[in-house]
């Protein structure tokens, strides 16, 4: 595991999703070849998806927190090539 992917995962586990995204975006914008960083970003997307689903179940899917998490999930998905359900989009 690389130092950057480790930092991403620590941020994910701490709930600092924006920080995790910022690190991953910076690395992957230069090269998508970093498998460790991509794996960490996939974990970030899974956490965000889970948080969004949890808020939706609680009928909080119109809250600012939900909207913010969903917007971040969309940005992460652009990097990972996933759709909102975690499936990989065919290109």
- Backbone φ and ψ for 15, nearest 5 degrees, come out as 80, 10
Q: Chain-wide mean pLDDT for the chain?
A: 94
Counting every residue, how long is the chain? 91
Average pLDDT over residues 71-88: 93
The domain limits of the chain are 3-80
Q: Greater confidence, 1 or 62?
A: 62
Q: Give me the residues paired with residue 45 across strands.
A: none
- Contact call for residues 18 and 53 (beta carbons, < 8 A): no
Mean pLDDT over 71-87 rounds to 93
Residue 88 predicted with pLDDT over 90 = no
Q: Are 78 and 70 in contact (CB under 8 A)?
A: no
Radius of gyration over every alpha carbon of the chain, rounded to an integer in angstroms? 13
- What is the spatial distance between Cα 64 and Cα 67, in angstroms, rounded to a whole number? 5
In this structure, what are the phi and psi dihedrals at residue 88, rounded to the nearest 5 degrees? -85, 130
């Amino acid at each position: 595991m690389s130092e950057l992917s480790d930092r991403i995962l620590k941020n994910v586990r701490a709930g600092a999703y924006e920080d995790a995204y910022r690190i991953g975006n910076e690395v992957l914008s230069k090269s998508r070849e970093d498998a460790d960083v991509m794996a960490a970003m996939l974990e970030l997307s899974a956490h965000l998806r889970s948080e969004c689903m949890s808020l939706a179940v609680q009928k909080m899917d119109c809250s600012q927190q939900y909207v913010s998490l969903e917007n971040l999930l969309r940005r992460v998905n652009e990097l990972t090539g996933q759709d909102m359900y975690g499936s990989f989009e065919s290109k």
